[in-house]
């Protein structure tokens, strides 16, 4: 079974600074997807960024980028120019690329605080 580990329960960053959230995963599969989701106080899950394992290029979405290290099974999220609205719970998630493996496996989450 796949597992996702987020070793940082809480992180804090100064507004306008950069922060990196860590995520490692364990799988025996070679084809899969990785995601970062944001859950603000409203509890609505919001997709931040996704990465296909077969792509070597790291995904980027505006101020959000990932460092995907397939051999190390590491998938960190970098938030640049942090904003107060970035404060939320961040979950790393794994999904198999098999047709029968649509479910997401989530990490335990990292709570990010942004200091003004």
Partner 1 sequence: GAVVSQHPSRVICKSGTSVKIECRSLDFQATTMFWYRQFPKQSLMLMATSNEGSKATYEQGVEKDKFLINHASLTLSTLTVASAHPEDSSFYICCAMGSTAITTDTQYFGPGTRLTVL
Of 46 and 113, the one with the shorter C-beta distance to partner 1 is 46
Interatomic CA distance for residues 68 and 30, integer angstroms: 14
Give the binding site for partner 1 (CB under 8 A): 42-47, 91, 102-109
Interatomic CA distance for residues 36 and 50, integer angstroms: 6
Structure tokens, 13: 């960053």
Structure tokens, 83: 């904003």
Write down the least CB distance from residue 95 to partner 1, Å.
8
SS3 of the chain: helix, strand, coil, percent, to 5: 5, 50, 45
Write down the least CB distance from residue 28 to partner 1, Å.
19
Of 28 and 43, the one with the shorter C-beta distance to partner 1 is 43
Of 16 and 47, the one with the shorter C-beta distance to partner 1 is 47
Write down the least CB distance from residue 50 to partner 1, Å.
8
């Amino acid at each position: 079974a796949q597992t996702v580990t987020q070793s940082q329960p809480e992180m804090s960053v100064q507004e306008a600074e950069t922060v990196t959230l860590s995520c490692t995963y364990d799988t025996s599969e070679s084809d899969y997807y990785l995601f970062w989701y944001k859950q603000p106080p409203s509890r609505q899950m919001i997709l931040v960024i996704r990465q296909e394992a077969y792509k070597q290029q790291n995904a980027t979405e505006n101020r959000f980028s990932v460092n995907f290290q397939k051999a190390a099974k590491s998938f960190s999220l970098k938030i640049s120019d942090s904003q107060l609205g970035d404060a939320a719970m961040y979950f790393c998630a794994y999904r198999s690329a098999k047709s029968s493996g649509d479910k997401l496996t989530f990490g335990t989450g990292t709570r990010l605080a942004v200091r003004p």
